[in-house]
A and B are shown apart, each in its own frame.
Chain A
Amino acid sequence: MSKKDLKKSQEEWNKKKYKKTVDRFGERKKEFKSDSDRPIKPLYTPLDIEDIDYEDKINYPGLFPFTRGVYPTMYRSKLWTMRQYAGFGNARETNERFRYLLEQGQTGLSVAFDLPTQIGYDSDHPLARGEVGKVGVAIDTLADMEVLFDQIPLDEVSTSMTINAPASVLLAMYMVVAEKQGVSSEELAGTIQNDILKEYIARGTYIFPPEPSLRIITDIFDYCSKEMPKFNTISISGYHIREAGSNAVQELAFTIADGIEYVQAAVDIGMDVDQFAPRLSFFFNAQMDFFEEIAKFRAARRLWAEIMEDRFGAEKDKSKMLRFHTQTAGSALTAQQPMNNIMRVTLQALSAVLGGTQSLHTNSYDEALGLPTEESVKIALRTQQVLAHESGAADTIDPMAGSYYVESLTDRFVKEAKEYIDKIDDLGGMAKAIESGYVQREIQESAYQVQKKIENNDKVVVGVNKFTEEEEKKADNLLKVDPEVENEQIKGLKNIKEKRNEKEVNDALEKVRKAAKNEENLMYPIIEAVKAYASIGEISNVLRDEFGEYEAQYI
């Protein structure tokens, strides 16, 4: 059928069928809007995608701009990595949970660190009180890291570490543990999050101001490109931006804009794009608007590929491929009727699979109530296994391609994200945009609007503002971190400090200071300091002295 005929027939359907029915019976809502507050049409047709050139904007899997996926075979060769984020208490307990998960068929590890570790405080720091081992595992020195990976072959698993401001310290510890296992750093696979910009925007575990923070990051890029070629040097994260309340378009745009800032920083110190870009990875959120989420993932790949080629002149395909991890949305979990969360997680996970994710964490249904139990973690993992082996979603590549709705959404996401990126460029790049408060304000506004919609019942959340129940069964067997963990951890640290060679530690820390002053790559002296059992707090304090600390500027 020609375009003209189609237009005519669509108008006719619209007038004779659709409008007529609406006039008679009305619709459920006055207006239908997507999660990112865009109007949704009643029907999408070939007319909505007529301007999208297949080879130019979509193309085959493994071919630029990678809209359909970064690999030519996708899940037909290898399923995504099922990677459940875990960590609590001390290294020994977390090691046990890791080994349990590997036995259950999980294929990669993901380490959650406690907040003192993430902010570069030792467990005996006054601000660490009450926080040790709470949201992740407590790591003070190499000794803890040795226990954490005890009996886990680091040449066989890939490990993701959610660590940002002190990323170099944890990366150094990981390498040294591997070395002790007889595994060389070239063989190590995994990811460090290492994404400081989103900490300023959304997650809050920053230490240093942006400038030295970016330098620490580019030091890692440089080091890994030489010594750890299989390790992902950063996981540029939209996840937390979304959790902080952004919508899907903002998540996409701000994450890509963060990526641009990192690439620019590395290019500015003289690195070759194709040398480090293949090891950049991304991390997105999977929220409830199923189709928008799929479109977001597909758009992310196209957008990044275009930017790497046009803006940075990348030549290797691998530099242009956006590979990403996905986690289902923590903020979509409800404390009310928590079992409903299992269904939410299933839908979110399916959107990530249909969006072509490389790895996936599915949340446990009880996480709005506290730390997940072993049982709830297992259900979350089983959810992924059902999707992988029973749903058929993994059996053909990018099955949503060609959907009039999804393709038009994908195209719109690219366009709208570009508008945001232009605005951020005008402000002088992401670091400046954060400093001006622009990004944080955009996110806060979205967060507030969503809250208002829920309160006005414009947005239904089952069990929260509709289909509510008076008496709900509360999850009562929640996992609790033993308060003794903190004391034990502090004792352990004291013990190590007594045993280690103090002079060796001080010399190593002085070398870290010197490198910080002289703009030498920090990774090398940090590895030496870690080997001498210098603690994360000691190393971070040297850097605090040299770099100062970041103070939030806006609310």
Chain B
Amino acid sequence: MTNDIEKLYAEIQKGNENIIAQAISMVEDGTKNGLKLMKKIYKNVEPAYMVGISGPPGSGKSTLTQRIVQLWRKQNKKVGIIAIDPTSHFSGGALLGDRVRMNEISTDPNVFIRSMATRGSLGGLNSSIYDTVLIFSLAGFDYIIIETVGVGQNEIDIVKLADTTVFVTVPEAGDEIQAYKAGLMEVGDIFVVNKSDRPNSQQMVLTIEQLVSFKDEDKEWKPPVISTNALKNKGISDIKDWITKHHDYLLDNKLLKENRKQVIKAQMINLMEKTLNEKYIKPILEDEKFPEHIEQIYDKKKDPYSTVEELMPFD
């Protein structure tokens, strides 16, 4: 089955869950057939609307995701979810636990949840995520949620893929917000202060509103700051409505196209880096003579600059 690209493509289009799941594994594992499949999909499929959801651990993102999905389901929208957790640097393994908070939607036939580990390089991850988005899109999903944990640069790079990015935080996460404010302000389209029953919730809303007000003056979009309580289902429809508003804003201003082109550019860069790495760098590193270069540089017989020029003679 996995060898017949046409058949794979048709089955995904039909919504065959087994095949969708296996196709995602193929692109995650970087198999040859996965590559062939993606070549076909890229030329035929328009990506569905992508919503990125990120925030520090414990901010209630998954519960919030579940609640938003439930609202979309009421409008009969099909939703794909890509839930990303970090790979352990030590073992290469990962614990993917986001489903724990999505049990209410896990048997909905029009919701597909896929957990994904960050694995090795981030560039590689980004292309598997985007490939998964395209596979979901081929399968007819209307919305695709990309959920990541954390507020660091890596997570920001991931959610940059999305058309609308929602940042979720909690009243007590003030320090993290301060530390990453530049990045957050750059990509956040909607800010959510979850667990609104906690003390200092209003304080946090004000802090973010203040930061947002300094955002790029040229842009017309002023990110809203929404107060929610995912567990009590409060404020969720506000997020959903703001996502729609942001979508309209992107369309009205022809920005959606721009964003998609940026994503393609990023994909290109990823692919080129990956190719460079695999076709040129890896063979050099694996060459048995490579340690000799290091010895010679260490012994001051050579310098690294000329050695690389010699090993990679691009000009």
A contacts B directly (C-beta below 8 A): yes
Chain A residues with CB under 8 Å of chain B are 209, 436-437, 548, 551-555
Q: Is the CB of B63 within 8 A of A554?
A: no
Contact of B100 among A209, A436, A548, A552 (CB under 8 A): A552
20 sample A-B contacts, Cβ–Cβ < 8 Å, listed by A number: A209-B231, A436-B58, A437-B58, A548-B231, A548-B232, A551-B63, A551-B101, A551-B103, A551-B231, A552-B100, A552-B101, A553-B58, A553-B60, A553-B63, A553-B101, A554-B58, A554-B100, A555-B95, A555-B97, A555-B100
Give every chain A residue within 8 A of B97 (Cβ-Cβ): 555
* Cα A408 to Cα B103 with chains together (Å): 48
> Which residues of chain B are near A548, meaning CB under 8 Å?
231-232
Q: For residue B95, which residue of chain A has the nearest CB? A: A555
Chain B residues positioned under 8 Å from A209 (CB to CB) = 231
Other CB < 8 Å A-B pairs besides A209-B231, A551-B101, A551-B103, 9 of them?
A: A437-B58, A548-B231, A548-B232, A551-B231, A552-B100, A552-B101, A553-B58, A554-B58, A554-B100
Q: How far is the CA of A209 from the CA of B229 in the complex (A)?
A: 13
For residue B231, which residues in chain A have a CB less than 8 angstroms away from its CB? 209, 548, 551
* Nearest B residue (CB) for A436: B58
- State in angstroms the CA–CA spacing of A548 and B231 once bound together: 9
Task: Give the secondary structure class of B's interface.
Answer: loop
Chain B residue with the shortest CB-CB distance to A209: B231
Q: Beta-carbon contacts of B108-149 to A below 8 Å, as 1s and 0s? A: 000000000000000000000000000000000000000000
Residue of B nearest to A432 (CB): B198
A548 to B232, CA, bound (A): 8
Counting chain B residues whose Cβ lies within 8 A of the other chain, the interface size class is 10 to 19
Cα–Cα, bound, A223→B60 (Å): 36
Instruction: Give the residues from 56 to 80 in chain B that come closer than 8 angstroms, CB to CB, to chain A.
Output: 58, 60, 63
Query: In the complex, which residue of chain B has the Cβ closest to the Cβ of A552?
Result: B100
The closest CB in chain A to the CB of B172 belongs to: A436
Docked complex Cα distance between A548 and B60 (Å): 17
CA A554 to CA B63, docked complex, whole Å = 11
Q: How far is the CB of B232 from chain A (nearest CB, A)?
A: 7
Chain A residues with CB under 8 A of B232: 548
Query: For residues 89 through 104 of chain B, which have their beta carbon under 8 Å from a beta carbon of chain A?
Result: 95, 97, 100-101, 103
- Cβ distance A392 to chain B, nearest Cβ, rounded Å: 51
- Please, what's the 1-or-0 string for B28-62, where 1 marks a CB less than 8 Å from any CB in chain A? 00000000000000000000000000000010100
User: Which residue of chain B has the shortest Cβ distance to A550 in the bound complex?
Assistant: B231
Bound: A436/B171 CA distance, A = 13
For residue A438, which residue of chain B has the nearest CB? Answer: B58
User: What is the chain A residue whose CB lies nearest that of B232?
Assistant: A548
Min CB–CB distance B197 → chain A (angstroms): 9
3 closest cross-chain pairs (CB), A and B: A555-B97, A555-B100, A552-B100
Report B135-173 residues with CB < 8 Å from chain A CB: none
* A548 to B230 CA separation, bound complex (whole angstroms): 12
Q: Which residues of B contact A555 (CB under 8 A)?
A: 95, 97, 100
**Measured CA separation A209–B233 after assembly (Å):** 13
B95: chain A residues within 8 A (beta carbon): 555
Chain B positions within 8 Å of A554 at CB level = 58, 100
Chain B residues with CB under 8 A of A552: 100-101
Instruction: Tell me, in angstroms, the Cα distance from A554 to B103 when the chains sit together.
Output: 13
> How many angstroms between the C-alpha atoms of A209 and B58 in the bound complex?
17
* Cα separation A381 to B58 with both chains bound (whole Å): 46
Which residues of chain B come closer than 8 Å to A551, judged between CB atoms?
Answer: 63, 101, 103, 231
Q: Please name the residue on chain B nearest to A554 by beta carbon.
A: B58
Closest Cβ of chain B to A468, distance in Å, is: 28
Residues of A near B103 (CB, < 8 A) are: 551
Bound CA span A437–B97, Å? 14
Residues of A within 8 A of B101 (CB): 551-553
Question: Complex formed: what's the CA distance from A552 to B97 in Å?
Answer: 11
A437 to B100, CA, bound (A): 14
Distance to closest chain A CB from B55 (angstroms): 14
User: Residue on A with the closest CB to B104?
Assistant: A551
- Among B58, B60, B97, B232, max chain A CB count under 10 A is at B58
Give B203 Cβ to nearest chain A Cβ, in Å.
16
Among B63, B97, B103, B231: residue with most chain A CB under 10 A: B231
A272 to B101, CA, bound (A): 39
CA distance A45 to B79 in the complex (A): 68
Kindly state the separation between the CA atoms of A553 and B100 in the bound complex, as whole angstroms. Answer: 7
A440 CA / B52 CA spacing, docked (Å): 29
Contacts of A436 in B (CB 8 A): 58
Contacts of B60 in A (CB 8 A): 553
A437 to B60, CA, bound (A): 12
In the complex the two chains form, what is the Cα distance from A554 to B100 in whole Å?
Answer: 8
In the assembled complex, the CB of A356 is this many whole angstroms from the nearest CB of chain B, namely: 40
| 0/1 string, B183-215, CB within 8 A of A gives 1 | 000000000000000000000000000000000
Q: How far is the CA of A355 from the CA of B63 in the complex (A)?
A: 44
Residues of chain B within 8 A of A437, CB atoms compared? 58
In whole angstroms, what is the CA distance A437 to B56 when docked?
Answer: 14
Rounded to whole Å, the gap between the CB of B168 and the closest CB of chain A is: 14
Q: Find chain A residues with CB under 8 A from B58 CB.
A: 436-437, 553-554
Shortest beta-carbon distance, B53 to chain A, in Å?
16
| Closest-CB distance, B230 to chain A (whole angstroms) | 10
Which residue on chain A has the smallest CB distance to residue B102?
Answer: A551
